[in-house]
Amino acid sequence: MGLTSSLTNAVSGLRVNQDSIDILSRNIGNSGTPGYHRQSLNIVDYNTQDASYARSVGTNRAFNSSLQAYYNRQVSDTANSSVSASYLDRLQGFLGKPGTAGALDTVFGQLQNSLQGIATSPDDYNARAQAVSAAQSMVETLNRLSSTIQGMRQETEGQIASNVHNINGMLNSLAEVNNRMLDLGMTDAARAALLDQRDRLVGSVAELIDIRADYRPDGTVALMTRSGVGLIDNGVSTFKFESAGNLSPNSIFDPDPAQTKVGKMTLTTPSGLTIDLVTQGVLQGGELGGLVTLRDRTLVEAQEQLDQIAAGLALAFSTNKSAGVAATSGAATGLDVDISNLAPGNDVLLTYAEDGVEKRVRVINTTEASDYVDATGQRVIGIDFSAGATAAAAALDAKLPNLDISSTGASNLRILDDGAAGRTDIRTAVARSSSTGLQGAGLGFNLFVDQGNKAFTNNLDTDPQQMQGFAARIAINPAVVADNRLLVQYEVGGTLGDSDRADYVIDQLSKMQFVSGGNPAANTGRFQLTGNLSEIISQIVGFQGSTVNAAITKRDDRQLTLDTIVDQMESEYGVNVDEEMARLMELQNAYAANARVVSVVKELLDALLAAT
């Protein structure tokens, strides 16, 4: 090897060493920078007949596309779980732990105890005053919780609007990064910094919405949702959110854009196509997906559960029962039922045996033509009683062909078995009507009323139905607040020593059964409440507790998985300062060796020139 070749080799080594030191210093300087990917020099050996030398041909940046895709998915799922767990944990705090002061079950227990006090001492003013106070506490608790839930729903809308603004900004920034990546004149350092910025932006977008990223060889990236809707490729899609303003219990999502009463979130693609993200089910993860689920499902279900409690309270206090009277027609036997007092939403409970099998039917006074089996196995039939007993009897007879149902008067239903055939036997028939007053209208009374002191009958024919949002509207009848003797005196001038009304309400609270949700087929995925009012409240408290625990566990599991991925990324992408310092020692030694070669070659060339 000649002196010139030796000099060339040494100089190339010095140049490569200098480039390596530049990258090493960059690594160490960014060792704590979030999203920084470790860099290394790409060195190529060149061999010729007379010499060999090294040359740097660009920078390698640590990157694993499959690991990055896994990270993006997990970031999205973790953010989705985190926002759900956060809201549900707050909701549980508002509901209160079972048995604690102010909790639903505690407040209801106090109401029951106060009624027991009236039953024991109906003439005791203080006992009646305590009952009115307990009822007011129950109402205030339901009103407060309903207001809290709607406030949380309103908060989700505000957070959705903020996230939509942020994601538009991040997508536009990502588009700018893509455009700059096409600049072939960039230095390796600038390109690596842009790639770091690209990955940070993709991770931030993934936190807000579920995405799939296509990392391309030229450094650009294309994004789409998991459902296949493009976000950025040949242009940038734009998110838009139109807030609905203040939300109430009646502000419910509807697939029909013209009917929905919550904020609308749309996506407009570069081609001008506008997609309703919620209606078309585009959101499958990310914080936005979690917020929409909370607003339209989770918190709505919590409101519906409060409405069920409020409805149960009103009905338990106001419902009067009228048992059927024995009736016969030839060999057929059964019962006559008085339906004169049935308001919309009131019902008739019928039990009979068919071929030895017990059957239960609930006939609701409604114009809504319904026929289904509820969560308890009871058949529910909607019949319009406003058209008169004859029409109602004919409609019900068509629904129950093995019974003989007819009308014997303007307000009477006659329900008979099949007579001599002996296949069916009528057991019981009870009409349940809502009290129309505080006195002279039965033992039931309107202690709990709807807005405007309106009686609650669970009317299904209003839009929205009367139960929807009732927890926010329920109030105490002001007449009872003004005169607590009405808790006892169910007849004008009745004695204060009569406990019949209190005993009746206590029995109603214990025995009156409720089923939430109506037709189970229309409420798939929702928790069904069944039982008396105390059991309903216990089920709600237990359900919310288990839901929160499940959400927190899910969040923790996903966070643990994300932490594992982050640790792996840190191992693959991160800067190990100890390794870099060891590498620096190697470069220093190599630099010194190459410098020594240059020095020796210089001495030899000087000696050679001097000799000539």
Per residue in 103-112, pLDDT (tens digit) is 899 999 999 9
Among the listed residues 455, 474, 471, 477, the one whose alpha carbon sits nearest the alpha carbon of residue 345: 455
pLDDT value at 587 more than 70: no
Give the per-residue pLDDT at 53. Answer: 58
Give the per-residue pLDDT at 100. Answer: 86
Give the per-residue pLDDT at 56. Answer: 61
Give the per-residue pLDDT at 49. Answer: 59
Q: Is the dihedral of CA 23, 25, 31, 36 positive or negative?
A: negative
379 domain residue, yes or no: no
393 domain residue, yes or no: no
Q: Where are the beta strands (DSSP E) in 243-340?
A: 264-268, 274-276, 319-323, 325-329, 332-338
For 455-468, b where at least 16 C-beta lie within 10 A, e where not — what string? Answer: bbbbbbeeeebbbb
pLDDT value at 191 more than 90: no
pLDDT value at 183 more than 70: yes
* Residue with the larger pLDDT of the pair 321 and 257: 321
Give the per-residue pLDDT at 580. Answer: 67
Give 538's pLDDT tier (boundaries 50, 70, 90).
very high
For 491-524, b where at least 16 C-beta lie within 10 A, e where not — what string? Answer: eeeeeeeeeebbbbbbebbeebebbbbbeeeeee
- pLDDT, tens only, 438-450: 998 899 999 999 9
Give the per-residue pLDDT at 517. Answer: 78
214 domain residue, yes or no: no
Among 53-67, 233-247, 391-405, which stretch is predicted with the lowest mean pLDDT?
53-67
Give 412's pLDDT tier (boundaries 50, 70, 90).
very high
Among the listed residues 224, 302, 283, the one whose alpha carbon sits nearest the alpha carbon of residue 80: 283
93 domain residue, yes or no: no
**Contact of 138 with 106, CB cutoff 8 Å:** no
Distance CA 107, CA 198 (A): 55
* Residue with the larger pLDDT of the pair 194 and 521: 194
Average predicted confidence (pLDDT) for the chain: 89
* Mean local confidence (pLDDT), 480-491: 94
CA torsion angle for 134, 140, 146, 151 (degrees, to 10)?
A: -150
**361 burial via Cβ count (<10 Å: 0-12, 13-18, 19+):** buried
Give the per-residue pLDDT at 60. Answer: 76
Query: Where do the H-state alpha helices sit in 30-124?
Result: 65-95, 104-120
Return the residue matching tokens 């209208």.
441
20 domain residue, yes or no: yes
Give the per-residue pLDDT at 55. Answer: 64
pLDDT value at 45 more than 70: no
What is the Cα 377 distance to its own chain's centre? 28
Among the listed residues 423, 425, 363, 368, the one whose alpha carbon sits nearest the alpha carbon of residue 396: 363
**Contact of 456 with 448, CB cutoff 8 Å:** yes
290 domain residue, yes or no: no
CB atoms within 10 A of CB 1: 10
**Contact of 287 with 265, CB cutoff 8 Å:** no
Give the per-residue pLDDT at 48. Answer: 63
* Residue with the larger pLDDT of the pair 96 and 489: 489
Residues 6+ apart with CB under 8 A from 215: 63, 65, 68, 221
Domain range for residue 52?
A: 3-62+575-611
Among 25-39, 62-76, 209-223, 250-264, which stretch is predicted with the lowest mean pLDDT?
25-39
* Mean local confidence (pLDDT), 64-78: 93
Give 145's pLDDT tier (boundaries 50, 70, 90).
very high
pLDDT value at 337 more than 80: yes
Give the per-residue pLDDT at 51. Answer: 59
What is the Cα 163 distance to its own chain's centre? 17
Give the per-residue pLDDT at 13. Answer: 65
Per-position DSSP letters for 141-170, written without gaps between them:
HHHHHHHHHHHHHHHHHHHHHHHHHHHHHH
Within 13 Å, how many C-alpha atoms sit on residue 363's CB side?
Answer: 24
Residues 6+ apart with CB under 8 A from 193: none
Give 182's pLDDT tier (boundaries 50, 70, 90).
confident
Max CA distance (Å), the chain: 146
| Whole-number percent of the chain with pLDDT over 90 | 65
570 domain residue, yes or no: no
Q: Three-class SS of residue 251?
A: coil
Give 46's pLDDT tier (boundaries 50, 70, 90).
low
* Mean local confidence (pLDDT), 476-494: 93
For 90-124, b where at least 16 C-beta lie within 10 A, e where not — what string? Answer: ebbebbbeeeeeebbbbbbebbbebbebbbebbee
Give the per-residue pLDDT at 39. Answer: 75
| Whole-number percent of the chain with pLDDT over 70 | 92
Any idea how long the chain is? Answer: 612
How many domains are there within the chain? 1
390 domain residue, yes or no: no
* Mean local confidence (pLDDT), 236-247: 93
